[in-house]
Amino acid sequence: MSVRFLEEYGLFWLDTAHTSYVIKVVDEERFPGHVYYGKKIRPQDAGYLLRTEEPPFVPSRNNRERAAFYDQFPFEYGGNGVGDYRESAVAVEDENGCRATMPLFTGYEILPKKPGLPGLPATFDNDGGTLILHCGDAHLGLEVDLLFSVFEREDVIARSVIIRNAGERPLFLEKALSMSLDMDAADLELLTLHGGWGKERQIDVRPIGYGRQSVGSLRGETSHQEHPFLALKDRHADQNAGEVYGFQLVYSGNFLAQVEKSQMDSLRVVLGIHPEGFGWELAPGGEFYTPEALLTYSDQGLGGMSRAFHDVIRDHLIRSAYRDRVRPVLINNWEATYFDFNTDRLLSIAECAAKLGIEMLVMDDGWFGRREDDSTSLGDWTVNEEKLPGGLKHLVERVNALGLKFGIWIEPEMVSPDSDLYRAHPDWAIQVPGREPTRSRNQYVLDLTRQEVRDYAYGCVASVLRSANIEYVKWDMNRQLTDLGSVSLPGRRMGEFSHRYVLGVYEMQERLLRDFPDLLLENCSGGGARFDAGMLYYSPQIWCSDDTDAIERLKIQEGTALAYPLSAMGAHVSACPNHEVGRVTPFETRGYVALAGTFGYELDITGLSPEERDAIPGQVALYHRFAALIQQGDYYRIASCAENHEYDCYMVVSKDKKEALVTYVQVLARPNCRSRMIRLKGLDPDAVYLVERVERGETRLIGGDLLMEGGIALRSVPGDFRGQLLYLKADE
């Protein structure tokens, strides 16, 4: 068991393959303290790291300085209002309006597996056991269970909290974070992911100064702008070496991810549901489950952190039947036609695609109601038979007859003001009574906190799927939440709205997986605004960004891959000039970049040049040749065009180190230069590899040690945005 209580030292000791996490309960009042998290150490008396033998000492020894103790002690889950002025993890208001909470240790359990989190996405099948620290505040009648689940092989610890009103008085939760972690500041930097529409998950690194530095979302989803992830890294750490602590939240709504440097040069990291606007009524006997936080420590730089997160998400969070399958190569008609299509137009795309080896046609927005643009008909999920005579069944049968699967786009969380649904049920839209609701993309959001609204929205999705042989759904959400109000939540319980909305989305997608277990679901939110671990519990892939330009995607996919496996990233070859930035990129390079994802096409295939059209069968063959390796292999980042502005390079290595694929993109050509020497990563130094330059078909035998220590030369080629692939196979 990787979770132990070492009675001789009074320590709770959690081990993964390469890390240790240590907790100690101190003093007569039983304060749960964080002792250590980092590189694996052998069990020993590490409790001195808490510094309780220094002033201000523990309260039983120096009660006159209790507040100073509270404000310095490294709590596993800090309370509020009693003297710890750092960011609290939990805040509770009692019936008198008082706010003071201090969870103290009351007992523990060690379980062989981790329990689930009702209504929430969560990791499963951990191999290292689960520690539950039972804590509580006797004055409030509050119970707080801290859960620590160990994924030994993956070097990941999953944390969550169960908060329970065990008293006889009502309580009101004002904050319930998923984790808090205190550590010495050391020489660390903060790494976060920021962005906007079309430029999601850009890497940002900055020094950690005194006070609180955070990212978060109040948009009702994790957002384009910020991301529920942060890393603390040694100032000298890079992709391959140095200490990194990684944290991410398995959640899809408002969040706070924050680090705080205190007066005593300690750091407190907190992660969880954003407390602004949040409130939750806890009646006697009531429980609240926080979303799960994933923690990892790496002494192998950012790459070690990424590979740990990739493994735990791929093997212990994604549940789809497609998790380990090679996914079909699809073509989506959006950038080919936008709203201007009919059956004949779609069939012409399908016929051309089928001849070139593409395996699925996805019909995007515009197939329902009176939908000729984005101003109408969301909520009216009935086929527009003027566009599609004979309905979906007729179209799908025609597409299937060509040998293609069929997929469809739908946006079930939304409603247009100009729709039959809104005219019949205007109160089903999120709104503040008496206030004109804010439109975005000329649409409103359905109130998914209400069961009847969820049932209607889900019923629409299920009805569409049962009407024809539909094997893929792109579930979109094209605006964020405003005007938070619901007739289902009286008075001060309106603070529950945002979390209940997310729970409603989860419930609908859970029903979808249960009723259609073989469906390939791809989540989307105006591109990548809801790309998070919570959604990956329901869909094995998420549309990475609406910016499909291959060069912009290099930066977007680099940031995304810091936390998520490549198999989760929806990526397509799109038209040129690119519709978002106008850039012209070689068709070959667009294919190489899309390989680092789910791979598909988003363009008018019937209007391609003969040269581009003839390249598609080869690209599809490349995808099938390397898809399993990309899906299951270990990811190594070699160079970043976001940093050097000249070239990008990354590679994937099979778990047994017998295969590898290197992707190199020359972003800007250089004059009068020698070849660039690329040092590879993650190979078996004792193996000899047959190195194939894929675009040329040239091969050469080179030792793994030489490839990693000396490198391999990649020559500059004329022109910007030129890609190269190297495939390595161990010589048997």
Structural domains of the chain, with CATH: 3-316 (2.70.98.60), 330-419+469-480+518-632 (3.20.20.70), 638-730 (2.60.40.1180)
Where does the pLDDT of residue 435 fall: very low under 50, low under 70, confident under 90, or very high at 90 and above? very high
Where does the pLDDT of residue 493 fall: very low under 50, low under 70, confident under 90, or very high at 90 and above? very high
Q: Which one-letter DSSP state was computed for residue 525?
A: B
| From 137, 365, 380, 546, active-site residue | 546
- Phi and psi for 350 in degrees, rounded to 5? -65, -40
Reported as a single tens digit per residue, the pLDDT across 192-214 is 999 999 999 999 999 999 999 99
Q: How many CA atoms lie within 13 A of 486 on its CB side?
A: 23
- Is pLDDT above 90 for 328? yes
Better-scored residue on pLDDT, 696 or 283:
283
Residue the block writes with tokens 């979302």: 217
One DSSP character per residue, 54-102 reads: STT--TTT-GGGHHHHHTTS-BSS--BSSS--SPPSEEEE-TTS---B-
Nearest-angstrom CA–CA distance, 119 and 338: 36
Nearest-angstrom CA–CA distance, 548 and 336: 13
- Is pLDDT above 80 for 1? no
Which pLDDT value is given to residue 372? Answer: 95
Where does the pLDDT of residue 491 fall: very low under 50, low under 70, confident under 90, or very high at 90 and above? confident
Q: What is the pLDDT averaged over residues 574-590? A: 97
- Is pLDDT above 90 for 273? yes
Nearest-angstrom CA–CA distance, 23 and 46: 9
Which pLDDT value is given to residue 381? Answer: 97
Inter-CA distances, 296 with 15, 34, 504, Å: 12, 16, 29
Strand partners, 298: 244
Instruction: Please name the helix (run of DSSP H) or strand (run of DSSP E) that holds residue 414, with its range, or none.
Output: strand 414-415
Q: Is residue 546 among the annotated active site residues?
A: yes
Which pLDDT value is given to residue 705? Answer: 98
What percentage of the chain carries pLDDT values higher than 70? 100
Q: How many CA atoms lie within 13 A of 297 on its CB side?
A: 20
Where does the pLDDT of residue 732 fall: very low under 50, low under 70, confident under 90, or very high at 90 and above? confident
Which pLDDT value is given to residue 716? Answer: 87
Length in residues, the chain: 732
Which pLDDT value is given to residue 50? Answer: 97
Nearest-angstrom CA–CA distance, 197 and 355: 35
Q: What is the pLDDT averaged over residues 106-111? A: 98
- Is pLDDT above 90 for 717? no
Strand partners, 261: 211, 267
Which pLDDT value is given to residue 212? Answer: 98
One DSSP character per residue, 329-364 reads: PEEESHHHHTT---HHHHHHHHHHHHHTT--EEEE-
Which pLDDT value is given to residue 445? Answer: 98
Ramachandran area for residue 44 (φ above 0: left; ψ -120 to 50: alpha; else beta): beta
Q: Which one-letter DSSP state was computed for residue 116?
A: P
- Is pLDDT above 90 for 696? no
What's the whole-number average pLDDT of the chain? 97
Where does the pLDDT of residue 492 fall: very low under 50, low under 70, confident under 90, or very high at 90 and above? confident
Measured from the Cβ of residue 424, the count of other Cβ atoms closer than 10 Å reads: 9
Residue the block writes with tokens 């004055």: 139
Encoding tokens for residue 618? Answer: 């080869």
Amino acid at 48: Y
In sequence order, which residues have a C-beta less than 8 Å from that of residue 670 and are 6 or more positions away? Answer: 646, 716
| From 15, 365, 476, 532, active-site residue | 476
Record the pTM: 0.97
Where does the pLDDT of residue 298 fall: very low under 50, low under 70, confident under 90, or very high at 90 and above? very high
Nearest-angstrom CA–CA distance, 366 and 351: 21
Q: Is residue 204 among the annotated active site residues?
A: no
Encoding tokens for residue 160? Answer: 């969550």
Which pLDDT value is given to residue 650? Answer: 98
Q: Is the peptide bond before 56 cis (omega within 30 degrees of 0)?
A: yes
